[in-house]
Structure 1
Amino acid sequence: MKKNKELARQHRVIQEQKINNLEKEKKILSMASMIDGQESERIRIAKDLHDGIGGLLTSVRTQIKRIEKEVSILSEFDLYKKTNQLIDEAATEVRRISQNLMPSVLRLEGLEVALEDLCTRLREVHDLKVDSHFDFRELNISETQQTFIYRIFQELTNNIVKHANATEVLMQVNNYGDHLNMIIEDNGQGFAFDKLEPQGGLGLKSIQSRVDFLSGEMEISTAAGDGTSISINIPLEEKREV
């Protein structure tokens, strides 16, 4: 009798584990579909910006140059110079937004080059001192996984720029064969977890969703006034087909 009860208990435990695993897989697939949709929309918007508005601004610049040839005195007016300057600034802003939405370097040259490009922009645009090290030796991961890893770094660095008030940043990817360890640290003002929004402030919910899809784990060490250190481990032994 006791043996039958124990077998029944073990059976319930196994069934509960199966149900939990199925629910987890369903959640991951749903998350993957949502994020894939977001990436597709990013690509579409980036292309529309580059080809549409970017193309229009180029045409406007060309037309203004033609007018200048017809009315040479225009180049002497401050208003004309200011108009040209605004067009150049608008074209630069369109390129910047398009690049953030879907970096061409990620698609054309891969994850490591894209992350180095991200570091360069942090240095040149935001005047941050960035120490970086990326180890992708003999790493074979899918394009989707590369995009997810890039987005994680992109969102974390956006947080640093917007909220941290930092002057120094450390970005690393360490390849240990069976897993990747991603580290990003800053010397900024840090934050207190108990003051974050319930739904996940600072975009951490979106970052955690990407980490979950990669079957990873994220640890955050921070305190108000004491900088922030984030470590993410991504397993490599199970290659997810995406």
Structure 2
Amino acid sequence: MIPTNNNFTLLLVVGIAAMLMLFISILLIFIFTQRKKLQYQNALQALRDEQKDQLIEAAVRSEEIERHRIAGELHDDVGTYLSSAKLHFHSVKIEEYDMSSRYLHEKGKELLDEAIQKVREISHSLHSSILQEFGLNEAIEHFAGSISHESVIRMTTDLDHSYPQHATQNDISIYRMLQEFINNIVKHASANKVHIKSVYLIKSLTLTISHNGFGLTQEHYEELQFRKQGLGLKNIQNRVILLKGSLKFYFNNDGYYIDIYVPTTDG
């Protein structure tokens, strides 16, 4: 039986429809497979990010514990020995010495007093007890005051006092980053003026460190992150990742600037 034009047209339509359905089915299967693959990749990446954050958090926590341990040993052990040595110095009867020996005795007392003071400063800096008791602003001002010396380097602050005084774990990381940056400036920047400013807005804190020495640009900072000797910068970057914050380095006519931006849970 020879198919009529109507039957042929019907078969053609049915064939096209079947091929179209097959194509749509394959397309849907492909889309579904790709979507599942993307979901799996996103879940895997989220797991990796979570594990990375946990590792960084563990490293930061270990560093803080070690700082407290060293601070305790400096204060309790080294500080005790130095204080005991000072008592022995004071008990010596210098009247029986000649002028040269008296001078050496007085010089030794001065050096010992300086050593005791340095140990106290280092211990307080490592332990962050001021931060925990009085908050971030007070800790920054105390740290800046302990470093500032009119004949060497002048440090000033302009801190936003609306920032909450109760210290959080984030504040410890912020404080450690600021310490690291200031130490680097003192060691390498040849600056004699440093200014620390903070701006607290709803759910964000921005700390700006500016100085008149030699500093970093954003490009230079990103290069240094991957060098072996840039351990301090790596520690800073780890804390930035943990805080989900950001860093910005730039130069203005009056010097170099570092912006530390951190989201907060307050506000």
Could you give the per-residue CA deviations for residues 160-215 of structure 1, whole angstroms, max 9, x where no partner exists? 10111112223122112122222212221224628736236372111111111111
Match of residue 240 from structure 2: 211
Match of residue 110 from structure 1: 135
**Distance in 2, Cα, partners of 1:29 & 1:183:** 28
5+ residue gaps, structure 2: 1-25
Match of residue 24 from structure 1: 49
Task: Establish whether residue 154 from structure 1 lines up as the match of residue 179 from structure 2.
Answer: yes
**Equivalent pair of 1:75/1:81 in contact (CA under 8 Å):** no
Q: Does the C-alpha gap of structure 1 residues 130 and 62 become closer, same or farther in structure 2, counting only changes over 3 Å?
A: closer
Could you give the per-residue CA deviations for residues 61-85 of structure 1, whole angstroms, max 9, x where no partner exists? 11222232xx632485222222222
**Equivalent pair of 2:207/2:259 in contact (CA under 8 Å):** yes
Pick from 96, 114, 134: which aligns with 1:73?
A: 96
Report the 3-state secondary structure (helix = DSSP H, G, I; strand = E; otherwise coil) of the residue aligned with 1:124: coil
Could you give the per-residue CA deviations for residues 10-38 of structure 1, whole angstroms, max 9, x where no partner exists? 22112211111111111111111111111
Match of residue 256 from structure 2: 228
Q: Does the C-alpha gap of structure 1 residues 210 and 134 become closer, same or farther in structure 2, counting only changes over 3 Å?
A: same
**Distance in 2, Cα, partners of 1:60 & 1:162:** 31
Match of residue 198 from structure 2: 173
Q: Does the C-alpha gap of structure 1 residues 237 and 95 become closer, same or farther in structure 2, counting only changes over 3 Å?
A: closer
Aligned-residue CA RMSD in angstroms? 2.8
Query: Rg bigger for which structure?
Result: 2
**Equivalent pair of 1:159/1:202 in contact (CA under 8 Å):** no
**Equivalent pair of 1:74/1:80 in contact (CA under 8 Å):** no
Report the 3-state secondary structure (helix = DSSP H, G, I; strand = E; otherwise coil) of the residue aligned with 1:132: strand
Match of residue 94 from structure 1: 119
**Distance in 1, Cα, partners of 2:130 & 2:167:** 16
**Distance in 2, Cα, partners of 1:200 & 1:141:** 35
Amino acid at match of 2:136: L
Q: TM-score, normalised by structure 1?
A: 0.85
Task: Establish whether residue 45 from structure 1 lines up as the match of residue 74 from structure 2.
Answer: no
Q: Does the C-alpha gap of structure 1 residues 137 and 200 become closer, same or farther in structure 2, counting only changes over 3 Å?
A: farther
Report the 3-state secondary structure (helix = DSSP H, G, I; strand = E; otherwise coil) of the residue aligned with 1:190: coil
**Equivalent pair of 2:163/2:200 in contact (CA under 8 Å):** no
Match of residue 148 from structure 2: 123
Amino acid at match of 2:57: A
The count of aligned residue pairs is: 236
Report the 3-state secondary structure (helix = DSSP H, G, I; strand = E; otherwise coil) of the residue aligned with 2:244: coil
Q: TM-score, normalised by structure 2?
A: 0.77
Could you give the per-residue CA deviations for residues 96-153 of structure 1, whole angstroms, max 9, x where no partner exists? 3212322332132121100111222232377433342222526487632111010011
Moved more, 97-106 or 129-138: 129-138
**Equivalent pair of 2:194/2:211 in contact (CA under 8 Å):** yes
Task: Establish whether residue 58 from structure 1 lines up as the match of residue 83 from structure 2.
Answer: yes
Q: Does the C-alpha gap of structure 1 residues 59 and 138 become closer, same or farther in structure 2, counting only changes over 3 Å?
A: closer
The percent identity for this pair of structures is 29
